[in-house]
Structure 1
Amino acid sequence: MQFEILGPLRVTDAGPVKVSGQRRRILLVALLTHANSAVSNEELLDWLWPRCPPRSAQATLHVYISTLRRALEPYREPWQPAERLLTHPTGYLIKVADGELDVLRFERLLAAATPALDEGDAQRAYELASEALAWWRGPALADAAAVDAARGEITRLEELRLSAETVRVKALLALGRHRDVVPELTRLVAHYPLHEPFYVLLMIALSQCGRRADALAVFRRARTVLAREVQVAPGRDLRRTEAAILAGELD
Structure 2
Amino acid sequence: MANEEIKVDSPAIGAELAGGRSALTEGGRPPAGNADARRIAELEREVWELRRTNEFLKEYFAKDLDADPLPPPAPPRVVGTIGERSHPEVVAAAPAGPPGAARWTPGQSPQIQDTPQPMAVFRALGPIEAVVGGRLVDPGAPKQRALLALLVSKVGQPVAVDMIVEELWTGNPPPSAITSLQAYVANLRRVLEPDRAPRTPATVLRTYGRGYLLDSRVVEVDVHRFSERATAGWQALDWGEPQQAVREFEAGLALWRGQAYAEVADTTYVRPDVARLEELRLSVVEGRCAALLAVGAHEMAVAELEAFTRAHPLREYGCELLSLALYRAGRQADALGVLRTNQKRLAEELGIDPRPALQHLENEILNHAPALDWRPHPRVIAKSA
- Fold shared per TM-score above 0.5: yes
CA distance in 2 between partners of 1:228 and 1:46 (Å): 41
CA distance in 2 between partners of 1:65 and 1:188 (Å): 41
CA distance in 1 between partners of 2:159 and 2:297 (Å): 45
Shift of 1:22: 2.0
From the two aligned structures, give the one with the greater helix fraction: 1
Partner residue of 1:8 out of 127, 152, 173: 127
CA distance in 2 between partners of 1:229 and 1:98 (Å): 48
Shift of 1:191: 2.3
Distance 1:237 1:49, change over 3 A: farther
Match status 1:190 vs 2:310: yes
SS for the counterpart of 1:149 is: coil
Partner of 1:81: 201
Shift of 1:165: 1.5
Deviates more, 1:133-142 or 1:237-246: 237-246
Match status 1:210 vs 2:330: yes
Partner of 2:73: none
Equivalences, count: 251
Partner of 2:244: 124
Structure 2 residue identity aligned to 1:3 = F
State whether residues 69 and 85 of structure 1, in contact with CA within 8 Å, keep that contact through their aligned partners in structure 2: yes
Q: Which has the larger radius of gyration?
A: 2
Structure 1 residue identity aligned to 2:314 = L
CA distance in 1 between partners of 2:348 and 2:228 (Å): 37
Structure 1 residue identity aligned to 2:129 = R
Give the unaligned 5+ runs of structure 1.
none
Structure 2 residue identity aligned to 1:153 = D
- For residues 97-122 of structure 1, the C-alpha deviation after alignment (integer angstroms, 9 at most, x for no partner) is 57831111111111222111111111
Partner residue of 1:65 out of 182, 185, 189: 185
Matches within 5 A, 1:1-251: 1-13=120-132, 14-97=134-217, 100-227=220-347, 229-249=349-369, 250=372
Shift of 1:246: 1.9
Distance 1:72 1:98, change over 3 A: closer
Distance 1:56 1:148, change over 3 A: same
Shift of 1:236: 2.8
State whether residues 166 and 172 of structure 2, in contact with CA within 8 Å, keep that contact through their aligned partners in structure 1: no
Shift of 1:227: 4.6
CA distance in 1 between partners of 2:218 and 2:227 (Å): 12
Distance 1:173 1:98, change over 3 A: farther
Higher RCO (C-alpha 8 Å, min separation 6): 1
Shift of 1:37: 2.2
CA RMSD of aligned residues (A): 2.1
- For residues 176-214 of structure 1, the C-alpha deviation after alignment (integer angstroms, 9 at most, x for no partner) is 221221111112112222211101100011011111111
TM-score of the two chains, using structure 1 as the length reference: 0.90
Structure 2 residue identity aligned to 1:74 = P
Shift of 1:93: 1.0
* Same amino acid, percent of matched pairs: 39
